[in-house]
Amino acid sequence: KSHEELLIPPMPCHAKTNVMFLKTHKTASSTVLNILFRFAERYNLTVALPADQLFHLGYPRTFLAHFVEGFEAIGQNYNIMCNHLRFNPLEVKKVMAANTFYFSILRNPIPLLESSYIYYKNNVPAFRSSKNVNEFLASPTKYYHPADYRESIYARNIMWFDFGYDNNAEDDTKYTQAVLDEIEQNFHLILIADYFDESMILLKHALCWDLDDVIYFKLNSRSQDTVQTLTPESEEQIKAWCSLDWKLYLHFNQSFWRRIEETIGLEVLEKEVDHLRTRQKELMETCLSEQEAVRKDHIRNRAFLPFQSGAANILGYNLKQDLDNRTLRTCQKMVMPELQYTSYLYAVQHPHKKRKELGLPLLRTSLQEK
């Protein structure tokens, strides 16, 4: 017998059901949130949802346990936590079980800043007062005032801020290294939005989930015509202006690929990414009347209209007309925007509480009938 066959086959792993996702801004995190919400529903898990009328867990305030609906009553019995919050490990630990899997996602700060600029154009003083992203980046300190920090967090080192750190801190080597070490202590896995499909495969392996658990349609993306082209000078400027985010990204981009090589290998990764894309295409053909996301004014069912922000045209989907009930339900969940899904899960989990007002046409109760 070859010595290969004598090896004991690996123990089948168990799907992890206690999961905390730190949802960062403009990093494809709405798509991840949708994956987690669908997983929670499939396995009848409890989600730590924002209390009362909020859609985020106290953001941009540093997270506190009581920002979660029902925390006093439910205590540490939540399985999934994934709405926006500013990370505060001690408070999150009060909400999540000891064996919780923690992960987050980062994105290259260059496309990230351009995306933030368009999305938060009307909210951020530094963006509002500049003509376009290149003008802002030519002299950021002219437009950006740390004193407006609550409004201006999206304009500088937003990922650093979401992880709970000071986005205006001095970029000092000892300090940044300490933060990177702390993030590695607190998180089991950091994904990279620029390699989203590869990230989903890595996540699937880390959580011991099935391929269908990480299938997604891209959510909360915007139409190409709202993208502003950055000059080469602007790109360089972002690395300096958002140097904390830049260091964060470089560090975890490296560990991401190292993790893939150590756990899956590039060959298997490529095969699984292909599977994921094939399955995604099948589902799109099943669910969607157009094989792609459409602009906001082309979304027929207004209940599935994503929240619109700034100068971005946030895309959504149209479902096919005559789907059978079961397929319809699956497809609806795949395309359901973040606010609608949060509101829907809230109504399911907290039926006696006042429903979250969307300011959008409410989903018909058909979704309530399980």
Can you tell me whether residue 191 is helix, strand or coil?
Answer: strand
Residue 368: the pLDDT is 38
Residue 363: the pLDDT is 43
Residue 4: the pLDDT is 55
Do 338 and 55 contact (CB within 8 A), yes or no?
Answer: yes
Do 294 and 223 contact (CB within 8 A), yes or no?
Answer: no
Residue 3 has pLDDT above 60, yes or no: no
Query: Tokens 């699984």 belong to which residue?
Result: 272
- For residue 141, is it within any domain? yes
For a pLDDT cut of 70, what percent of the chain falls above it?
A: 94
- For residue 263, is it within any domain? yes
- For residue 104, is it within any domain? yes
Can you tell me whether residue 41 is helix, strand or coil?
Answer: helix
Kindly report, residue by residue over 6-35, the tens digit of the pLDDT. Answer: 566 677 899 999 999 999 999 999 999 999
**Domain residues for 219?**
19-349
Give me the CATH number covering residue 325.
3.40.50
The partner residues of 80 in beta bridges, in order of sequence, read 19, 47
Residue 148: the pLDDT is 80
Kindly report, residue by residue over 306-325, the tens digit of the pLDDT. Answer: 999 988 899 999 999 999 99
Residue 9: the pLDDT is 67
Do 310 and 118 contact (CB within 8 A), yes or no?
Answer: yes
- For residue 167, is it within any domain? yes
Residue 151: the pLDDT is 83
- For residue 9, is it within any domain? no
Mean pLDDT, to the nearest integer, of 151-180?
97
Residue 191 has pLDDT above 90, yes or no: yes
Mean pLDDT, to the nearest integer, of 41-65?
97
- Measured CA to CA in angstroms, residue 255 lies from 23, 26, 85, 183, 325 at distances of 19, 21, 24, 12, 43
Mean pLDDT, to the nearest integer, of 117-138?
95
- Answer with the residue of higher pLDDT: 368 or 331: 331
Res. 165 pLDDT band, cuts 50 70 90: very high
Kindly report, residue by residue over 201-259, the tens digit of the pLDDT. Answer: 999 999 999 999 999 999 999 999 999 999 999 999 999 999 999 999 999 999 999 99
Residue 367 has pLDDT above 60, yes or no: no
Which among 115, 274, 249 has a CA at the least distance from the CA of 191? Answer: 249
DSSP structure class, residue 14: P
For residue 183, the Cα-to-chain-centroid distance in whole angstroms is: 17
Phi, psi of 13 (to 5 degrees): -90, 160
- For residue 358, is it within any domain? no
Cα 162 from Cα 159, distance rounded (Å): 5
Domain count, the chain: 1
Q: Which of 36-50, 148-162, 254-268 has the lowest average pLDDT?
A: 148-162
Cα 85 from Cα 56, distance rounded (Å): 6
Residue 147: the pLDDT is 83
- For residue 271, is it within any domain? yes
Cα 219 from Cα 339, distance rounded (Å): 12
Residue 118: the pLDDT is 95
Q: Give the predicted TM-score (pTM) of the model.
A: 0.94
Cα 302 from Cα 314, distance rounded (Å): 13
- For residue 246, is it within any domain? yes
Cα 121 from Cα 222, distance rounded (Å): 14
Q: What is the CA radius of gyration of the chain?
A: 21
